[in-house]
Amino acid sequence: MNGVCIKKHALISVFLSLMAANALAESAKNIDNTTEKNEASVLLGITVEDIRAEGLRPETVEAGSFRGTNIMDVPSTVNVITKEALDLQAATGTYDAVRNTAGVTKQQNGGETWDQLVIRGIEVQNRTNYRLNSSLPLMNFSQVPLENKERVEVLKGASALYYGFTSPAGIINYVTKRPTNDPMATVGLMMDNYGSAVASADVSERFGEEKQVGVRVNAAGGTLGSYLDDVDNGNRSFVSMALDWQVNDRLTIKADVEHDRRKVTEQAGITLPKAVNGVITLPHTVDPKTLVGPDSTKFETETTNVLLRSDYALSDTWSLGLEAGRAKTERERNLATFTFSNPQATTLNTGTGTVKVNHQEYEYTSDLLRAELYGVVNTWDIQHDITFGTSYTEKNQKPISSSSSSTLAQNLYTPHTITPNGFHTDHRRFVYHERYWFLYDGSCHT
């Protein structure tokens, strides 16, 4: 029986071996046939396409000498907040616009009056480092309106290379909206949880046989709610106009006029306690919604900015640009300041101190005259984008009417109603003139 079983298993093994050999032969034959077919066939072309979301990425930069330059070709650190980003962030002021920009922070505690900024720890100077359409120095002593702004640009670093005597922090540049090719009209309403309600309108139209004159008007106005309890709402009104005029094939004229007026109540500032053994002990946390000073601490400003520019094409590669403008800010401020009484070790716990109100009336003006010759020069395989020009700026601050009230008793932790009185007056004046020439060469390989 064992022998029969061995023979049966042997026959089965032989049969399986023959089947495997036949399968291998058929497989080899199929491989040969497939190889011949592949050699005779032609592969079809494959096209790979990618889709990149543009999002809020800007294309160009207007700040400094980079007028209309592609942002990838700018050799400086520039952040551009586009109109789409301003709308999505519901920005109502400068810090609202740039709050997502790395290295940019507020310098003051509040922000209900205006935004004073710091770039990389360096102050952005209020008289020199805020610009309208890359040129006119704005007086940043009031919140800059954004209803007529197409973008806000942050040019970081040594901006004095182009703008003369300025803080090395950088430049905040506001680019205004221009008239559109097609007629356009929009309206909007901004509201917040503090009771603000500001309506706005944006209208653009072109005139002339060849639509060579474009006008764009922005307007806004309404009530400004306050985060402070038991404080009346403020108010604001704004109007602007942008003009584009294509005089002929060579000459273009642009003009911008904007006027803003606003009034709000300002919270009191707190003087830091004196250092003891090199250590400053901070007071307890206070409710920011409680007004520490009197309810008469109003902050009222009125700003008017005017800028006129003409560009004349001397040739296909060279143009002459002339600019003139004025920025004017009038400000009336009642600033309350709280100071702890002595001895501080006791009053830091009890909150006992005094308040003094400083009444200020300012009027700032900034006048600009600028001429630029810009064009292209090619030397071998290098293209030079040349800008040569001169600029004159005069900043003037009329004598400040400053008066302080008598000292009033107050408690920081449990404030009570106080009324300032007994003001005494002081006057100060500020005048600044700046003249400079500049030459800029933006070179690249062609």
Amino acid of residue 415: P
Taking residues 282-298, what's their average pLDDT? 88
State the pLDDT at residue 158.
Answer: 72
Amino acid of residue 206: R
Alpha carbons 173 and 151: distance in angstroms, whole number: 8
4: Cα separation from own chain's centroid: 97
Residue % of the chain over a pLDDT of 90: 42
Q: What is the pTM of this model?
A: 0.81
Higher-scoring residue by pLDDT: 20, 284: 284
Whether the bond into 343 is cis, omega within 30 of 0: yes
Neighbour-count burial of 144, counting CB atoms closer than 10 A to its CB (0-12 exposed, 13-18 middle, 19+ buried):
buried
Average pLDDT, the chain: 83
Both tokens of residue 278?
């090199």
Alpha carbons 147 and 91: distance in angstroms, whole number: 9
- The answer on pLDDT for 161 being more than 70 is no
Phi, psi of 48 (to 5 degrees): -110, 120
State the pLDDT at residue 156.
Answer: 86
State the pLDDT at residue 2.
Answer: 39
Both tokens of residue 148?
């007529």
Q: How confident is the model at residue 240 (pLDDT cuts 50, 70, 90)?
A: very high
State the pLDDT at residue 230.
Answer: 86
State the pLDDT at residue 3.
Answer: 40
Please count the other Cβ atoms lying within 10 Å of the Cβ belonging to residue 57. 12
Q: Name which of 392, 391, 379, 368 is nearest 441 in CA terms.
A: 379
Amino acid of residue 265: T
Taking residues 292-305, what's their average pLDDT? 92
State the pLDDT at residue 308.
Answer: 98
What sign for the dihedral angle of Cα 138, 143, 145, 146?
Answer: positive
Both tokens of residue 191?
């509201």
Taking residues 143-156, what's their average pLDDT? 93
Helix/strand/coil (H, E, C) string of 62-108?
Answer: CCCCCCCEEHHHCCCCEEEEEHHHHHHCCCCCHHHHHCCCCCEEECC
State the pLDDT at residue 347.
Answer: 87
Both tokens of residue 421?
């009185």
Alpha carbons 39 and 19: distance in angstroms, whole number: 30
- The answer on pLDDT for 200 being more than 90 is yes
State the pLDDT at residue 295.
Answer: 86
Of the candidate ranges 252-256, 319-323, 389-393, the one whose mean pLDDT is the lowest: 389-393
Both tokens of residue 187?
């309206």
Question: Strand ranges (DSSP E) for 194-292?
Answer: 197-207, 213-224, 234-246, 251-265, 269-270
Q: How confident is the model at residue 430 (pLDDT cuts 50, 70, 90)?
A: low
Taking residues 369-375, what's their average pLDDT? 92
- The answer on pLDDT for 216 being more than 90 is yes
Which domains occur in the chain, in start order?
Answer: 57-176 (2.170.130.10)
What is each CA distance from 42 to 29, 38, 39, 45, 91, in whole angstroms? 22, 8, 8, 9, 59
Taking residues 219-224, what's their average pLDDT? 96
pLDDT tens digits for range 59-98: 777 766 666 667 766 667 788 899 999 998 889 899 999 9
Phi-psi region of 139 (alpha: psi -120 to 50; beta: other; left: phi over 0): beta
State the pLDDT at residue 246.
Answer: 96
Taking residues 120-133, what's their average pLDDT? 91
Taking residues 185-195, what's their average pLDDT? 93
State the pLDDT at residue 275.
Answer: 84
Q: How confident is the model at residue 284 (pLDDT cuts 50, 70, 90)?
A: confident
